[in-house]
Amino acid sequence: MKNVEKYSRGYYMPPVQSLKWTEKEYITEAPTWCSVDLRDGNQALVVPMSLEEKLDYFQMLLEVGFKEIEVGFPAASETEYAFLRALIEQDLIPEDVTVQVLTQSREHIIEKTFEALRGVNKAVVHLYNSTSVAQREQVFKKSEEEIIEIAVKGAKSLKKYAAETEGNFQFQYSPESFTGTEMEFALEVCNRVLDIWQPAADNKVIINLPATVSMSMPHVYASQIEFMSDHLNYRDNVILSVHPHNDRGTGVADAELAMLAGAQRVEGTLFGNGERTGNVDIVTLAINMYSHGVDPQLHFENIREIISKYEELTRMRVHERHPYGGELVFTAFSGSHQDAIAKGMKWREDGECQYWTVPYLLIDPKDIGREYEGDIIRINSQSGKGGIGYILEQHYGLDLPAKMRENFGYQVKNVSDRLHKELMPTEIYDIFMREYVNIHTPAEFIQYRYMQNDQYETVVAIRMDGEIHEFTGTGNGRLDAISNVLQTELAIQYKDLVYKEHALEIGSRSNAVSYVGITAMDGTVHWGCGIDADIMTSSVKALFSAVNKMITSTQRAFDKEAHLTKK
């Protein structure tokens, strides 16, 4: 890429080393979550939500379990003002839920904000002003002291109007564009605000450190957060919050490392909606914690319903590969992946497993409302025998022998490749029934009867070319006797007969299913399946199916050779 020299690293490392967070292995408890879907998320929509849609979205956030919800910037528009008033006047805010509102550090905006908050049970009033070098120099053209004064005036105004307004209020301050601010200056601004608010154990203040623009690798952000956590005044009475954006695609990593570094609270959105590349995705963050055995204190057990509501109200789409929520994230098309998943699921069924360790599946899809059937293993031309066999077993109770799975797998993949499409379970089942089950041409099994003596003597009726013939054979069992009939009377040669059977339940009929594999004299293996209410009859039908497939294959090969010779 050209013009790389025009870019520099616009972030600032802490003046002292801040690396204690590197000694921690994982996050041990859920942070306080604050949804900013109705502010950051809503302002990023092509068509912002209406009042009614915002009320619906607010209800969904309550059902997910959020206890802090930023509901908007009430001084910015009539819709946001009306939305907050509707929540308060219609008593729609549960007692254990705190709403949050945003305000710039300008007195008339602060005044309008508190006007909208009259009578609220509990609210966080979120004050911000920008502190970065770029904003100071290019946008505001103000000195450091002038930027501090903006924050200080705003902090004083919050105290003033909170004292004059009916309601319960908690204060929050954000040095906006924190990641582009010198750490010493960011610390000074925050401490000056804290000095005004005088946080106490029963009146804690939130200091929010946003990656308004993600500018560094996540470990730098973590070091910045740790520096601030170590040096903020009144630290025991300060709730340290982060608000990562996703410009570099590292929003989740930024938030996770920030929590290791001392952040106690995270602001974000469902599925990462927000300006530019979005806010940090709280769904991913929460379920990441869940995958480590830590309760995130949010409810995503019905993630499909949440996605449906989210897409309806935002007119946005959750991408198929979005972590946890995407339609395809638990789906394996690859043959080796499918085989490992199928064996892992079988391993769990056969033993008592304390922990979830299925290959390729970070969490159990059922824990978030996803189903094994149709979600995990789906079939296309890249799929393998394990996945295809898994589909037949899970959906239809057909437990094919391993070698037969391989044989059938090639047939299914060839169909998918030829049609250039994914195959549904019903289509896979139809292929199996058509190609393997109860094949009756060119030799159709009609019936058999046997007499047990030193050897099983069996009479079998076969229809060929429209005529029924009866043949008698002997063997060390009924199936062996019929096999001998086919080889001697019909002059069909094969060896190494493989047999498997099991009970089969399809609908209300209890059936038996048998599988037979035979090896032709040229070494090719042919498989057949028989299904019948009688287990012995199903085994005979399986044998006839395998023999018929061998006869047909041999005839095709003969016809092809004759055609080539003629040419």
**How confident is the model over 368-379, as pLDDT tens digits?**
998 765 666 666
206 and 308 housed in the same domain: yes
Please check whether residue 428 lies inside any domain of the structure.
no
Q: What is the pLDDT of residues 92-120, one digit of tens each?
A: 999 999 999 999 999 999 999 999 999 99
Residues 294 and 342 in one domain: no
**What predicted TM-score, i.e. pTM, was given to this entire model?**
0.80
Split into its structural domains, the chain has a count of 3
CATH code, 550: 3.30.160.270
Instruction: Give the tokens for residue 191.
Output: 């401490």
Residues 473 and 541 in one domain: yes
CB 30 within 8 A of CB 297: yes
Strands 68-72 and 98-104: parallel
d(CA 428, CA 414): 12
Query: In the listed set 285, 314, 343, which residue is the last one of a domain according to the structure?
Result: 314
Pick from 221, 143, 152: nearest CA to 183: 221
> Of 387, 406, 421, which closes a domain?
421
Query: Residue 461: enclosing H or E segment and its boundaries?
Result: strand 456-464
* Greater pLDDT, 308 or 452: 308
Structural domain contains residue 31: yes
At which of 247, 282, 314 does a domain end? Answer: 314
- Mean pLDDT within 442-461: 86
218 and 84 in one domain? yes
Same domain, 55 and 152: yes
pLDDT single digits (tens) 476-534: 888 999 999 999 988 889 999 999 999 987 554 678 999 999 999 999 999 999 999 99
CATH number reported for the structural domain that contains residue 90 in this entry = 3.20.20.70
Lowest mean pLDDT among 72-81, 172-181, 290-299, 345-354: 345-354
Q: Is 477 within the bounds of a domain? A: yes
Residues 174 and 207 grouped into a single domain: yes
**Residues 467 and 558 grouped into a single domain:** yes
Domain that holds residue 412: 335-421
Enumerate the H helices of 213-298 as residue ranges.
218-231, 251-260, 282-291
The answer on 411 and 560 residing in a single domain is: no
Pair 401, 264 in one domain: no
